[in-house]
Structure 1
Amino acid sequence: MPFPPDYILYAQHGWADINQGIGQLAKTVASPTARVIVPNLGFVNTWIRIEPLIDRVEAIAQQTQAEHPNTPLRIVGHSMGGLIWLEVLARHPEWWPLVESLVLVASPVGGADLGRLVDPLELGIGIAKDLGRNRRALAERIAAEVPTLIIASDYRQGSDGVVPVECTKFNRASYISVPNIAHARMKKHPAVAEIIQQFWQSRDHLCLPQPVESGCDRVIRQLQAIPGITDARYKGFEESQLWSLLPHGLVLRTWQNRMGIHHVFLANYAGDCLFAGFVGWPHTSDLYRALLMLKDSYSIGSVFE
C-alpha cells in the first residue's frame, strides 16, 4: 500500500490558458511526496462562463478529498484560477481547516477591469461578467480562517499588463508585490515560486500585523465602495482633470475615455497615482454622487468653489 501524500497541492490556471505554465510552477514548489493536481479546463472553455469551471474543479477536489480525507491542502491559483478556488472554498467551508495555504497569483479579486470594459452595461457578455465581479468580501471571509498570500506585479501603469495591482488586494491576507513581471509570466516565474516556498516555510515574516489605516487607505476604501466601481490600471491619469483637493496631501482627478466610461484617480501632490477605478455606464451618476459626498466630507475645498 503506497504511503499517503504529506499534502495535496492544487494548482489552477486561469482565463485564456491551459495547465502547462501553472503545472511547471507546481512541480517547482511541491515536495517529492506531495500529490499535485493541475486540472486542464481547456482554453476555449475559459472564454465562456466561470460556473462550469468551478463545478469541474470542485468535482476533481471532491474525488481527491474522498481518497485522502484528512490530508492537508495547499492551493495556488493564477488569475481566474484563484477566483475559481475562492468559489470552490465558498462551497466547502468544511475543507478550510485542512487548507495550510491559499496563494492567489495575479488574481482580480476586486473585479477585472478588462472584464468590465468589455461589458460596461453588465449584460453578462461571456466570461466578462464573471471576471468583473467583486469577490473581496468572500476572499476576506476565507482569509480570516485560511493562511492566504496575494502575489501581484506592477509591470506598467499600476498593473501586470492585465490585472491592476489594486484589484488583487483584500484585507486579512499577506501581500507581496514583485516588479516587472508580466501577467502571463507570473504563473511560472522563479521569483513567484521562491515567494510561495518562503510562505510555506515560515508565514510569520510575511503575515505582518495590519498597519494603522492611513488617510490614503480610508479614501481608497471609500472609492472602492462606490456602486459599480472596478479597480483599474493608471491609463488616462496623465489626461485626467482635477476634481477636488483632499487632506493628507491627496487629490481626486477624473477622466472619460473614448467609450464614455468615467474614471477616478487618487493622487498625491507630487503627481503620483495611488488608485484608479472606473464605473460602467449604468453607474456614472453613482460615481459623481459619491465623489461629491466625499469632497463635502473633507474641509479642503474643490476647484469648483
Structure 2
Amino acid sequence: MDQLDGQIHSNDAQPDYILYAQHGWADVDRGIGSLAQQVASPRARVVVPNLGFVNTWIRMEPLIARVEAIATQTQAEYPDTPMRIVGHSMGGLIWLEVLERHPEWWPLVESLVLVGAPVGGADLSRMVDPMGWGIGIARDLGKNRRALAEKIAAQVPTLIIAADYFQGSDGVVPVECTKFNQASYVEVGGIRHDQMKRHPAVADVIQAFWQHESHLCIPMPVETYSHRVIQQLQAIPGMTDARYRGFDKSDLWSLLPRGLGLRTRQNKAGIHHVYLANDRQDCLFSGYVGWPNTQDLYDALCRLRCNESLL
C-alpha cells in the first residue's frame, strides 16, 4: 500500500477500477478508508485523500481543489480506467463539485454513491449562517446542490444512502436533505451519521448496487402526488429540509387531495416550519424558512391549496 494524502491501495497491474472514497466535515480518512476496504475488489486501486480535520472547518474550495488534483493525477496514471466514487457527508458534496468541473470523466464513472450527504443544504449549517454570510464552512454546507446532483445522476449511475436514526434524521443530516431525482435511494435504520462511513450495512448496500447490473441502471423517477407536493415545498425560497422534530406540536393548516395535509408550527424564535402528512399522520416532509421568507412560505402554501395541476 502506498501512502499519499491519505490511503492509496494499489496493485502494480492494471486495476479493475479506481475507487475514490472521500471523508467529510470534522473528519479524516480513517473511517471512510475502512468502508473502502470493505467494498473494493482485490484488483481495485483505492484512493482515500486525507484533507485534514482542521481544514474541513474553514472553506470547501481548497478541499475541492485538492481532491480534484489527486483525481487528475491518478486518472493521468491510469487513463480510461473506470471510476467508482463514494463520498460520506461533505465528501459527497466535494465530489459533486469535482465532477461538475470534469464532465469528461462522467463516461468513466461506473458508480457515484453519496452516503449521508446533505445535497439539499445542511439544516445545521443554515442555523449557524442563516443569511449565507460565510461563517466558516457553514455557507458551503448550507448550499442547495440538487440541480447539480440531478444533472450528474442523469448520466452517471448514482446511489443515495440515508439513515433514519431518529425523527427523520441520522442525527446530523435529515433524510429529505439527501434526496434528489434520477438517483437510486436506500434508507437504513438505526445508524448514526458518524457510523455510516464504516458501517457493514452501508458496505452491503454499496456492494449490492455494484454487483447487480439492474442496480447500475438509472431508475425512472417515481412521480406521485406527494412527491410533487414535496418538490413544490422544497422550491420555496429559503426552504431548508429539516428533521421531523415538532411535528406532534404542529397545527393543521390545510387539507390537500388524496388524504394529505399541510401542517405548520412557529417556534420560539419566530421561525415558521411546515410539514406534509398523510392520512395516517405520518410525516412525509419537514422544512422551515427564515424570517425574510415567511411570506414566501405562506404564499406558496396558498398556491398549493388551490393547485389542481399537481394531481
When normalised by structure 2's length, the TM-score is 0.92
1:233 matched residue in structure 2: 243
1-side partners of 2:13 and 2:119: how far apart? 37
Cα distance per residue 1:83-106 (max 9 Å; x no partner):
000000000000001111100001
1:274 aligns with 2:284: yes
Question: Are 1:174 and 1:206, in contact at CA under 8 Å, matched by a contact in 2?
Answer: no
How much does 1:207 deviate? 4.9
1:148 alignment partner AA: T
2:36 matched residue in structure 1: 26
Instruction: Show structure 1 runs of 4+ deviating over 4 A.
Output: 205-209
2:84 matched residue in structure 1: 74
Using the TM superposition, name which of 32-41 and 258-267 deviates more: 258-267
Gap runs ≥5 in structure 2 = 1-10
How much does 1:2 deviate? 3.1
Matched pairs, number: 299
1:249 aligns with 2:259: yes
SS of structure 2 residue aligned to 1:38: strand
1:202 matched residue in structure 2: 212
How much does 1:291 deviate? 1.2
Question: Are 2:27 and 2:56, in contact at CA under 8 Å, matched by a contact in 1?
Answer: yes
2-side partners of 1:59 and 1:67: how far apart? 13
Question: Are 1:255 and 1:264, in contact at CA under 8 Å, matched by a contact in 2?
Answer: yes
1:109–1:187: structure 2 CA closer, same or farther, 3 Å change rule? same
- Work out which of the residue numbers 54, 65, 69 in structure 2 matches 1:55: 65
- Work out which of the residue numbers 11, 26, 31 in structure 2 matches 1:16: 26
Gap runs ≥5 in structure 1 = 300-305
2-side partners of 1:258 and 1:51: how far apart? 35
2:75 matched residue in structure 1: 65
1-side partners of 2:82 and 2:227: how far apart? 35
Matches within 5 A, 1:1-305: 2-205=12-215, 207=217, 209-210=219-220, 212-297=222-307
How much does 1:109 deviate? 0.7
SS of structure 2 residue aligned to 1:227: coil
2-side partners of 1:114 and 1:195: how far apart? 27
2:88 alignment partner AA: H
SS of structure 2 residue aligned to 1:192: helix
SS of structure 1 residue aligned to 2:273: strand
1-side partners of 2:215 and 2:140: how far apart? 34
Question: Are 2:115 and 2:197, in contact at CA under 8 Å, matched by a contact in 1?
Answer: yes
SS of structure 1 residue aligned to 2:248: coil
Question: Are 1:246 and 1:298, in contact at CA under 8 Å, matched by a contact in 2?
Answer: no
1-side partners of 2:212 and 2:126: how far apart? 37
